[in-house]
Structure 1
Amino acid sequence: MEIPDDRIIVDAVLAGDKQAYAGIVDRYKNKLYGLFRKMGLGEADAQDLTQETLFKAYRKLDSQRTEQSFSAWMHTIALNLFRDRGRKKVPVPHEPILETAAPNIEMPEESMIRAELREELDRLLDTLPEHYRLAMVLRYTGQLSHDEIAELTGMNVSQVNNALYRAKCSLRGKIKAKEGMRYEFPIAVDNGKSSAR
Structure 2
Amino acid sequence: MDKQTAEKLYDACYMKVYSYVMTLAKDQHAAQEITQETFFKAITTEQTFRGESECFSWLCAIAKNLFIDGKRKASRYQDEPDENLADIDTDIEQGITDSETSFRIHMLLHDMEDPYKEVFELRVFGELSFAQIGSIFRKTESWARVTYHRARLKLKERMDNNEI
What is the percent sequence identity of the aligned residues? 22
Question: Which of 93, 102, 109 is 1:125 aligned to?
Answer: 109
Conserved 8 A contact 1:146-1:160: yes
Question: Which of 47, 57, 62 is 1:77 aligned to?
Answer: 62
- The runs of 5 or more residues in structure 2 that have no matched partner are 73-79
Partner letter of residue 24 of structure 2? L
Higher relative contact order (CA 8 A, sep 6+): 2
Question: Which of 30, 39, 52 is 1:57 aligned to?
Answer: 39
User: What is the Cα deviation at residue 73 of structure 1?
Assistant: 5.3
Residues 123 and 170 of structure 1: CA distance in aligned 2, closer, same or farther (over 3 Å): same
Residue 153 of structure 1 aligns with which residue?
137
User: What is the Cα deviation at residue 116 of structure 1?
Assistant: 1.2
**1:57-81 Cα shifts (integer Å, max 9, x gaps):** 134248789xx675x5543322344
User: What is the Cα deviation at residue 121 of structure 1?
Assistant: 0.8
Question: Which of 110, 113, 129 is 2:94 aligned to?
Answer: 110
Residue 159 of structure 2 aligns with which residue?
175
TM-score if structure 2 supplies the norm length?
0.61
Q: In structure 2, how many angstroms separate the alpha carbons of the residues matched to 1:69 and 1:141?
A: 21
Residue 35 of structure 1 aligns with which residue?
24
User: What is the Cα deviation at residue 34 of structure 1?
Assistant: 3.9
User: What is the Cα deviation at residue 143 of structure 1?
Assistant: 1.6
Partner-residue secondary structure (3-state), 2:149: helix
Instruction: Find runs of 4+ consecutive structure 1 residues off by over 6 angstroms.
Output: 62-65
Residues 75 and 149 of structure 1: CA distance in aligned 2, closer, same or farther (over 3 Å): same
Residues 130 and 82 of structure 1: CA distance in aligned 2, closer, same or farther (over 3 Å): farther
- The runs of 5 or more residues in structure 1 that have no matched partner are 1-9, 38-42, 98-102, 182-197
RMSD: 4.3
The structure with the largest helix share of the pair is 2
User: What is the Cα deviation at residue 134 of structure 1?
Assistant: 1.0
